[in-house]
């Protein structure tokens, strides 16, 4: 099933309904891409550079250009069902036996690939609106070896597929994020102009350095000026940022392991926390917000364990670096306070969300279910289980109003 079970609403869903009504706004939903997501709109002459599928049945494999892609498995016909990892971990805790989430595959469901079916699922879940991010799309840029032609051709084609199948603001409820790489500044600006004209309200940038530059380097000011003027939200969603290849190899680790075959060292130091921390640090210390005060960032599916450390570290190190260069201009004010105005964080559901809300304010925390991915929640409303102790007003901010406001919907916007 793709929505509430036949047993009826969960206690979490009941509390969410009592506080928020059927108007949850989810900052982290996903789709699964079809086989032609990168090829449908790829110019014929550039098809050899495309992300594509070769083989059939059990022999089907994903390629990026001529190179085999191994970071994610084939997820076209069958996927691990929503919430399976959470259920597996709870079962392991109760039984002490090791489990395998891959044992709970299900056929691809219409709601995972079709906006009409997704709206029906959202209605059953009590979700008014959702930000929509890729599955495969956030993981392939690193495999293109820094080739600007290949990178922009693939993502220009991908964003056109996304507009075809989902739209950028479907029914005023599903807000899909086109991906804008920064390998070529002028092409990034051109594609940003196009998706804004098509109604995009959120874009996705890959966390990590921008091909030898900080993403806040003044070189990219024409790009950020457009973001600043349009008021579009910038989503920094977890993905393959290339840190295994760039850094973990210096510690004797494999450069390109599959996602769920990364070592504990790589999970700790190369994936997730490290790319988002570096990215947020560069944006604030290279003075992006001093130059572009309307830019708003949403950290999505990067968790929140890094937030207390980073805020304290940035405030301290701004003072340590006072006599050094300021590539984007001097940063006025405490970095933690600047980020308190510009950064929104969607934590993992199992983290200490009330502590995060106390640290950065409930106005900066976003509910994200990661539906329908296996590591997320089977029922989006169950996110509220982690908000015990927060006031009803704070719960409304986190479960609805913050993301609603970022999308320009307004608190409790009517359907």
**180 phi and psi, to 5 degrees?**
-120, 100
pLDDT at position 94 is 63
186-191 contacts, C-beta under 8 A, 24 or more apart: 187/148, 187/152, 187/156, 188/152, 188/220, 188/223, 189/222, 189/223, 189/226, 191/152, 191/155, 191/156, 191/159
Token readout for 282 is 């560069």
What percent of the chain clears pLDDT 90, i.e. is strictly above it? 86
As a whole number of angstroms, the distance between CA 181 and CA 189 comes to: 10
Tens digits of per-residue pLDDT, 263-318? 999 999 999 899 999 999 999 999 999 999 999 999 999 999 999 999 999 999 99
Three-class DSSP labels, 237-297? ECCCCCHHHHCHHHHCCCCCCCHHHCCHHHHHHCCCHHHHHHHHHHHHHCCHHHHCCCCCE
Question: Within its chain, how far is the Cα of 277 from the centroid?
Answer: 14
Band of residue 412 on the pLDDT scale cut at 50, 70, 90? very low
As a whole number of angstroms, the distance between CA 398 and CA 415 comes to: 19
Tens digits of per-residue pLDDT, 198-234? 999 999 999 999 999 999 999 999 999 999 999 999 9
As a whole number of angstroms, the distance between CA 350 and CA 377 comes to: 10
**Beta-ladder partners of 54:** 61
Band of residue 103 on the pLDDT scale cut at 50, 70, 90? low
Band of residue 95 on the pLDDT scale cut at 50, 70, 90? low
The length of the chain is 415
**Beta-ladder partners of 204:** 179, 235
Quick check: 3 pLDDT over 80?
no
Angle formed at CA 183 by CA 181 and CA 186, multiple of 5 degrees: 90
CB–CB of 144/64 below 8 Å? yes
Tens digits of per-residue pLDDT, 328-379? 999 999 999 999 999 999 999 999 999 999 999 999 999 999 999 999 999 9
CB–CB of 25/409 below 8 Å? yes
CB–CB of 16/400 below 8 Å? no
CB–CB of 210/182 below 8 Å? yes
Once rounded to an integer, what is the mean pLDDT over residues 119-142?
Answer: 97
Tens digits of per-residue pLDDT, 34-70? 999 999 999 999 999 999 999 998 899 999 999 999 9
Identify the CA nearest to 29 among candidates 144, 130, 163: 130
As a whole number of angstroms, the distance between CA 129 and CA 298 comes to: 16
Residues 6 or more apart whose Cβ sits within 8 Å of residue 260: none
Question: What average pLDDT does the structure give for the chain?
Answer: 93
């Amino acid at each position: 099933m793709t929505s509430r079970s036949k047993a009826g609403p969960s206690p979490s869903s009941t509390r969410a309904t009592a506080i928020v009504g059927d108007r949850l706004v989810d900052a982290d939903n996903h789709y699964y891409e079809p086989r032609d997501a990168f090829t449908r709109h790829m110019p014929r002459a550039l098809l050899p550079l495309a992300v594509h599928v070769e083989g059939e049945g059990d022999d089907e494999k994903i390629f990026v250009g001529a190179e085999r892609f191994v970071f994610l498995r084939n997820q076209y016909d069958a996927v691990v069902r929503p919430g399976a990892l959470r259920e597996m971990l709870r079962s392991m805790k109760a039984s002490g036996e090791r489990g395998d989430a891959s044992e709970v595959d299900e056929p691809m469901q219409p709601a995972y690939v079709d906006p009409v079916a997704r709206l029906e699922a959202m209605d059953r879940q009590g979700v008014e609106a959702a930000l929509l991010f890729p599955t495969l799309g956030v993981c392939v840029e690193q495999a293109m070896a820094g080739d600007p032609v290949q990178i922009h051709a693939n993502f220009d084609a991908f964003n056109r597929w996304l507009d075809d199948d989902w739209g950028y603001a479907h029914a005023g409820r599903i807000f899909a994020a086109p991906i804008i790489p920064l390998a070529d500044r002028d092409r990034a600006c051109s594609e940003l102009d196009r998706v804004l004209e098509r109604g995009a309200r959120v874009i996705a940038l890959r966390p990590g350095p921008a091909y030898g530059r900080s993403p806040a380097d003044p070189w990219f000011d024409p790009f950020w000026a457009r973001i600043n003027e349009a008021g579009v939200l910038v989503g920094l969603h977890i993905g393959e940022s290339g840190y295994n290849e760039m850094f973990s190899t210096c510690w004797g680790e494999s450069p390109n392991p599959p996602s769920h075959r990364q070592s504990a060292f790589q999970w700790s130091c190369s994936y997730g926390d490290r790319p988002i921390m570096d990215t947020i640090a560069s944006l604030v210390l290279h003075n992006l917000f001093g130059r572009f005060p309307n830019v708003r960032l949403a950290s999505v599916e990067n968790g929140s364990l890094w937030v207390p450390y980073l805020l304290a570290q940035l405030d301290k190190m701004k003072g340590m670096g006072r006599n050094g260069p300021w590539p984007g201009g001097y940063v006025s004010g405490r970095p933690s306070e600047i980020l308190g105005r510009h950064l929104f964080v969607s934590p993992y559901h199992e983290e200490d969300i009330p502590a995060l809300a106390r640290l950065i304010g409930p106005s900066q925390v976003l509910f994200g279910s990661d539906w329908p991915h296996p590591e997320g929640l089977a029922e989006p409303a169950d996110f509220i289980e982690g908000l015990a102790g927060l006031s009803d007003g704070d719960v409304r901010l986190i479960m609805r109003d913050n993301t609603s406001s970022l999308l320009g919907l307004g608190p409790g916007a009517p359907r």
